[in-house]
Amino acid sequence: MQLPLSDVIVLDMSRALAGPHAGMMLADLGATVIKIERPGSGDDTRHWGPPFVEDSEGQEQATYYLACNRNKQSLALYLKNAHDKRVFRQLVSRADVLIENFRAGVMDRLGFSETALQSINPRLVQLSISGFGHDGPESSRAGYDQIVQGEAGLMSLTGEPDGVPQRVGVPIADLLSGIHGVVGVLAALLERNGTGKGKIVRTSLLASIVGVHSFQGTRQTVAHETPTALGNHHPSIAPYGLFHCGDGASVQMSVGNEALWERFCAEFDLDPTTMALENNGERVRNRDETIRFVEDAFAPFKASEVVEKLNRAGVPVGVVRNLSEVYEWEQVASQGLRVNVEHPTLGEISLPGSPLRFFEIGGEGLTETTKQEHSPPPLLDQHRESVLRWLGSNDA
């Protein structure tokens, strides 16, 4: 099966999460991704835990590393060594994309500045991910996800009102940087089809968080209103959030327009013209009263009954699942969001799957062309022999 990036070769020199996530996304799209790691220790995430899982050889494998390295090959190179530098130059000369997230100046000191890489391979697309940007007064700072979540304002929007600032429960700055980086790489590869020349793509953890401020950003820049945390309720739509039911459980409901408000009220025998709740603007301004209004309506019912009633009324509703429930959910499985791979020392393991699916339209309708067979995150230097053989090296 021809995948979108089947002819693309990627050198993933990155470590931790932002760059490796970008590399994994490109691998899911069919690219051959060669992960370049430090000899002996490898990617930092190989040691981030617990949780660790003991493999058949008695070694601990970090589940963190397993999360962002499927469908890659691993080659360990020491880039201060003359032999390994030669191997790396050969790889660069044949690659389409290089990903790195070193601190500023590291690649230059190794002799592989952006200019040097371009001279080796003018068609190379270089993706560089930094913490706070590649220039500007704070470009030299090391960027770690939670630090940037705080610096970029995300933590000020997350948590309960008047509570301590909260980070998002996944490394969202890292993940968004990887996603934005992939968008840039794909655009550069498309442009290269016309120009024949590669391009340097830069993004940062800071840019990726500020870039998704969305309506919270324009609240500040246009309305000059500094947003604050509102817990589980939307700042501009009401009712939209988490509401408690009579059995102590909760549901999440979104009433995004007046038609939905009327359906909700009709289902629970409420008056949609109740004073101070007549329209969304009033409900937002009187959010506490809106929440009480909704939870009073839910109080006689179990959460399952509320879900049933809201579904019947066509009002968007959902429950809050833990991850055990998510990965057992039939809908998640139907979307390919859980994949099984055969790890060389752990045996069969399940991993979160790719969020993208592809289809072709033919005479018999849609045929899915999404990548179906996945390889496990590689052991350190697992593919040395095959990569060097591909390069034509005598050192395999």
Question: Is the residue at 4 inside a domain?
Answer: no
Provide the pLDDT for residue 393: 64
Pairwise CA distance, residues 32 & 274, whole Å:
60
Q: Which residues pair with 348 in a beta bridge?
A: 342
Q: What is the dihedral of CA 154, 337, 356, 386, to 10 degrees?
A: 110
Q: pTM of whole model > 0.85?
A: yes
Question: Is the residue at 351 inside a domain?
Answer: no
Pull the structure tokens for residue 233: 């309720």
Q: What is the pLDDT of residues 274-311, one digit of tens each?
A: 999 999 999 999 999 999 999 999 999 999 999 999 99
User: By the 8 A CB rule, do 245 and 306 touch?
Assistant: yes
Q: Which residues pair with 366 in a beta bridge?
A: 361
Question: Is the residue at 288 inside a domain?
Answer: yes
Question: Is the residue at 137 inside a domain?
Answer: yes
Q: What is the pLDDT of residues 165-201, one digit of tens each?
A: 999 999 999 999 999 999 999 999 999 999 999 999 9
**Which structural domain range is residue 285 located in?**
240-318
Q: Which of 167, 183, 106, 144 is nearest to 18 (CA)?
A: 144
Start-end of H helices in 140-246: 145-151, 172-195, 205-210, 214-221
Provide the pLDDT for residue 105: 84
Pull the structure tokens for residue 392: 């034509």
Q: What is the dihedral of CA 70, 75, 76, 81, to 10 degrees?
A: -150
| pLDDT(341) > 50 | yes
Question: Is the residue at 208 inside a domain?
Answer: yes
Question: Is the residue at 68 inside a domain?
Answer: yes
User: 174, 271, 288, 395: which is the annotated catalytic residue?
Assistant: 174
Same domain, 64 and 124: yes
Q: Which of 381, 382, 384, 378 is nearest to 68 (CA)?
A: 378
Same domain, 202 and 265: no
- Quick check: is 174 catalytic? yes
Same domain, 174 and 95: yes
Preceding omega of 316 cis (within 30 degrees of 0)? no
Provide the pLDDT for residue 396: 45
The domain tally of the chain equals: 2
Average pLDDT, the chain: 95
Q: What is the pLDDT of residues 118-171, one digit of tens each?
A: 999 999 999 999 999 999 999 889 889 999 999 999 999 999 998 999 999 999
Same domain, 273 and 166: no
**287, 318, 349 — which closes off a domain?**
318
Same domain, 20 and 163: yes
Pairwise CA distance, residues 28 & 71, whole Å:
7
